[in-house]
Amino acid sequence: MATPKHPGDTTAGHAATDSADLVVNADSFTRLKQIAEGTLAPGNMERLSEYLYAPEEAPEEYAPEGELHYRIRGSAPLGADGRETRRLALEVRGWVMLQDQVTLKPVRYEIKLAAKLVLARSEEEMPPLEAESDDEDYIVADREIDLAQLVEDEVILDLPMLPGGDAAREMSDETGNEPDAAGQAKKPSPFAVLSALKKPNS
Protein backbone atom coordinates (compact mmCIF):
# COMPACT_ATOMS: atom_id res chain seq x y z
CA MET A 1 0.00 0.00 0.00
CA ALA A 2 1.33 3.43 -0.91
CA THR A 3 0.04 6.02 1.54
CA PRO A 4 0.05 9.80 1.10
CA LYS A 5 3.14 11.45 2.53
CA HIS A 6 4.57 14.89 3.12
CA PRO A 7 7.40 16.23 0.95
CA GLY A 8 10.63 14.89 2.36
CA ASP A 9 9.03 11.76 3.81
CA THR A 10 10.70 8.83 2.07
CA THR A 11 8.77 6.04 3.76
CA ALA A 12 6.28 5.43 0.92
CA GLY A 13 7.83 3.62 -2.02
CA HIS A 14 6.56 2.31 -5.33
CA ALA A 15 4.62 -0.56 -3.81
CA ALA A 16 1.77 -2.32 -5.57
CA THR A 17 -1.31 -0.38 -4.59
CA ASP A 18 -4.94 -1.38 -4.37
CA SER A 19 -7.10 1.34 -5.92
CA ALA A 20 -9.32 1.29 -2.81
CA ASP A 21 -6.39 2.61 -0.77
CA LEU A 22 -6.27 5.88 -2.68
CA VAL A 23 -9.37 7.73 -1.53
CA VAL A 24 -8.03 10.80 0.29
CA ASN A 25 -9.33 13.98 1.88
CA ALA A 26 -8.97 16.61 -0.83
CA ASP A 27 -8.41 19.52 1.60
CA SER A 28 -5.73 17.77 3.66
CA PHE A 29 -3.96 16.33 0.64
CA THR A 30 -3.63 19.71 -1.06
CA ARG A 31 -3.08 21.99 1.96
CA LEU A 32 -0.37 19.73 3.41
CA LYS A 33 1.23 19.30 -0.03
CA GLN A 34 1.07 15.57 0.33
CA ILE A 35 2.38 13.10 -2.23
CA ALA A 36 0.95 9.71 -3.21
CA GLU A 37 3.00 7.38 -5.36
CA GLY A 38 2.98 3.71 -6.20
CA THR A 39 2.00 1.19 -8.86
CA LEU A 40 -1.42 0.22 -10.14
CA ALA A 41 -2.40 -2.79 -12.27
CA PRO A 42 -4.45 -1.76 -15.34
CA GLY A 43 -6.28 -5.08 -15.17
CA ASN A 44 -7.83 -4.03 -11.86
CA MET A 45 -9.37 -0.90 -13.39
CA GLU A 46 -12.83 -1.76 -14.68
CA ARG A 47 -13.26 1.09 -17.16
CA LEU A 48 -9.69 0.98 -18.48
CA SER A 49 -9.84 -2.81 -18.90
CA GLU A 50 -12.52 -2.38 -21.55
CA TYR A 51 -9.90 -0.77 -23.83
CA LEU A 52 -7.14 -3.33 -23.23
CA TYR A 53 -6.17 -6.50 -25.06
CA ALA A 54 -7.62 -9.82 -23.91
CA PRO A 55 -7.31 -13.15 -25.75
CA GLU A 56 -10.47 -14.28 -27.49
CA GLU A 57 -10.79 -17.35 -25.27
CA ALA A 58 -9.44 -15.77 -22.11
CA PRO A 59 -10.67 -17.30 -18.83
CA GLU A 60 -13.11 -15.31 -16.77
CA GLU A 61 -10.42 -14.42 -14.22
CA TYR A 62 -8.03 -13.08 -16.90
CA ALA A 63 -6.55 -9.67 -16.10
CA PRO A 64 -5.06 -7.52 -18.89
CA GLU A 65 -1.30 -7.05 -18.70
CA GLY A 66 0.40 -3.78 -17.86
CA GLU A 67 1.80 -1.61 -15.13
CA LEU A 68 1.16 2.01 -14.18
CA HIS A 69 3.55 3.94 -11.92
CA TYR A 70 1.93 7.11 -10.62
CA ARG A 71 2.96 10.15 -8.60
CA ILE A 72 0.41 12.71 -7.44
CA ARG A 73 1.33 15.85 -5.51
CA GLY A 74 -1.14 18.26 -3.90
CA SER A 75 -0.83 22.01 -3.36
CA ALA A 76 -3.09 24.88 -2.32
CA PRO A 77 -1.58 28.23 -3.36
CA LEU A 78 -3.39 31.48 -2.55
CA GLY A 79 -5.00 33.29 -5.45
CA ALA A 80 -5.27 37.03 -6.03
CA ASP A 81 -8.49 37.02 -3.99
CA GLY A 82 -6.69 35.46 -1.01
CA ARG A 83 -8.51 32.15 -1.37
CA GLU A 84 -6.82 28.78 -1.70
CA THR A 85 -6.88 27.01 -5.04
CA ARG A 86 -6.60 23.27 -4.55
CA ARG A 87 -4.37 21.69 -7.18
CA LEU A 88 -2.98 18.30 -8.12
CA ALA A 89 0.06 17.54 -10.28
CA LEU A 90 -0.21 14.01 -11.67
CA GLU A 91 2.38 11.92 -13.50
CA VAL A 92 1.94 8.40 -14.86
CA ARG A 93 4.57 6.16 -16.46
CA GLY A 94 4.11 2.57 -17.58
CA TRP A 95 2.56 0.42 -20.26
CA VAL A 96 -0.61 -1.41 -21.28
CA MET A 97 -1.45 -3.96 -23.96
CA LEU A 98 -3.87 -2.87 -26.69
CA GLN A 99 -5.26 -4.77 -29.65
CA ASP A 100 -4.22 -3.87 -33.18
CA GLN A 101 -7.51 -3.18 -34.91
CA VAL A 102 -6.26 -4.65 -38.22
CA THR A 103 -4.25 -7.72 -37.20
CA LEU A 104 -6.08 -8.24 -33.88
CA LYS A 105 -2.70 -8.99 -32.29
CA PRO A 106 -1.59 -7.47 -28.99
CA VAL A 107 0.53 -4.33 -29.19
CA ARG A 108 2.36 -2.71 -26.28
CA TYR A 109 1.54 0.96 -25.69
CA GLU A 110 3.85 3.07 -23.53
CA ILE A 111 2.23 5.48 -21.09
CA LYS A 112 4.05 8.70 -20.26
CA LEU A 113 1.77 11.54 -19.22
CA ALA A 114 1.50 14.52 -16.93
CA ALA A 115 -1.59 16.50 -15.97
CA LYS A 116 -2.41 19.53 -13.83
CA LEU A 117 -5.82 19.48 -12.15
CA VAL A 118 -7.72 22.16 -10.24
CA LEU A 119 -10.28 20.92 -7.71
CA ALA A 120 -13.59 22.78 -7.66
CA ARG A 121 -15.99 22.17 -4.76
CA SER A 122 -19.09 22.18 -6.95
CA GLU A 123 -20.29 22.61 -10.51
CA GLU A 124 -20.96 26.28 -9.70
CA GLU A 125 -17.23 26.82 -9.09
CA MET A 126 -16.29 25.45 -12.50
CA PRO A 127 -15.22 28.21 -14.91
CA PRO A 128 -16.72 28.45 -18.40
CA LEU A 129 -14.91 26.21 -20.88
CA GLU A 130 -13.59 29.22 -22.78
CA ALA A 131 -12.03 30.57 -19.59
CA GLU A 132 -10.12 27.38 -18.75
CA SER A 133 -6.37 27.31 -19.28
CA ASP A 134 -4.91 24.89 -21.82
CA ASP A 135 -2.38 23.81 -19.18
CA GLU A 136 -4.84 22.56 -16.58
CA ASP A 137 -8.23 20.91 -16.20
CA TYR A 138 -10.96 21.52 -13.61
CA ILE A 139 -12.73 18.66 -11.85
CA VAL A 140 -15.35 18.63 -9.09
CA ALA A 141 -14.04 17.28 -5.77
CA ASP A 142 -15.63 18.41 -2.52
CA ARG A 143 -14.32 16.39 0.43
CA GLU A 144 -12.91 13.10 -0.81
CA ILE A 145 -11.12 12.33 -4.03
CA ASP A 146 -10.28 8.97 -5.57
CA LEU A 147 -6.70 9.26 -6.80
CA ALA A 148 -6.82 5.86 -8.55
CA GLN A 149 -9.83 7.03 -10.54
CA LEU A 150 -7.90 10.14 -11.59
CA VAL A 151 -5.05 7.94 -12.84
CA GLU A 152 -7.53 5.76 -14.73
CA ASP A 153 -9.22 8.79 -16.31
CA GLU A 154 -5.93 10.28 -17.53
CA VAL A 155 -4.69 6.97 -18.95
CA ILE A 156 -7.94 6.43 -20.87
CA LEU A 157 -7.62 9.93 -22.34
CA ASP A 158 -4.03 9.14 -23.36
CA LEU A 159 -4.91 6.00 -25.34
CA PRO A 160 -4.68 6.21 -29.15
CA MET A 161 -7.93 6.22 -31.06
CA LEU A 162 -6.75 3.37 -33.31
CA PRO A 163 -3.78 1.32 -32.00
CA GLY A 164 -1.39 -0.69 -34.13
CA GLY A 165 1.06 -0.09 -36.99
CA ASP A 166 -1.21 -0.91 -39.95
CA ALA A 167 -4.15 0.83 -38.36
CA ALA A 168 -1.99 3.86 -37.68
CA ARG A 169 -1.04 4.08 -41.34
CA GLU A 170 -4.67 3.77 -42.37
CA MET A 171 -5.66 6.55 -39.99
CA SER A 172 -2.76 8.63 -41.34
CA ASP A 173 -4.06 8.22 -44.90
CA GLU A 174 -7.51 9.42 -43.91
CA THR A 175 -6.66 12.26 -41.54
CA GLY A 176 -3.13 13.35 -42.39
CA ASN A 177 -1.77 12.34 -38.97
CA GLU A 178 1.49 10.40 -39.13
CA PRO A 179 2.13 7.49 -36.74
CA ASP A 180 4.74 8.11 -34.06
CA ALA A 181 8.06 6.31 -33.64
CA ALA A 182 6.45 3.53 -31.62
CA GLY A 183 4.01 2.76 -34.44
CA GLN A 184 1.04 4.21 -32.56
CA ALA A 185 -1.46 6.45 -34.25
CA LYS A 186 -1.23 9.98 -33.01
CA LYS A 187 -4.54 11.36 -31.85
CA PRO A 188 -6.13 13.02 -34.87
CA SER A 189 -8.23 16.13 -34.70
CA PRO A 190 -11.91 15.19 -34.23
CA PHE A 191 -12.68 17.48 -37.15
CA ALA A 192 -10.22 15.53 -39.33
CA VAL A 193 -11.90 12.28 -38.34
CA LEU A 194 -15.33 13.64 -39.21
CA SER A 195 -14.00 14.85 -42.54
CA ALA A 196 -12.57 11.40 -43.30
CA LEU A 197 -15.88 9.71 -42.45
CA LYS A 198 -17.75 12.03 -44.81
CA LYS A 199 -15.52 11.16 -47.81
CA PRO A 200 -17.40 9.08 -50.42
CA ASN A 201 -16.11 5.56 -51.03
CA SER A 202 -13.97 5.33 -54.16
* Contacts (Cβ under 8 Å, ≥6 apart) of 189: 175, 177
pLDDT under 50: residue ranges of the chain: 1-2, 7-17, 167-169, 171-202
Q: What pLDDT is recorded for position 77?
A: 95
User: What's the pLDDT tens digit per position in 140-188?
Assistant: 998 999 999 999 999 999 999 877 655 444 544 443 444 444 444 444 4
- 61 CB-contact burial (10 Å; exposed 0-12 / middle 13-18 / buried 19+): exposed
The neighbour count for residue 21, using CB atoms within 10 Å, is 16
Q: What pLDDT is recorded for position 26?
A: 96
Q: Which of 138, 14, 8 lies closest to 70 in space, CA to CA?
A: 14
Question: In Å, what is the CA distance from 168 to each residue of 18, 136, 144, 155, 173?
Answer: 34, 28, 40, 19, 9
Q: What pLDDT is recorded for position 126?
A: 86
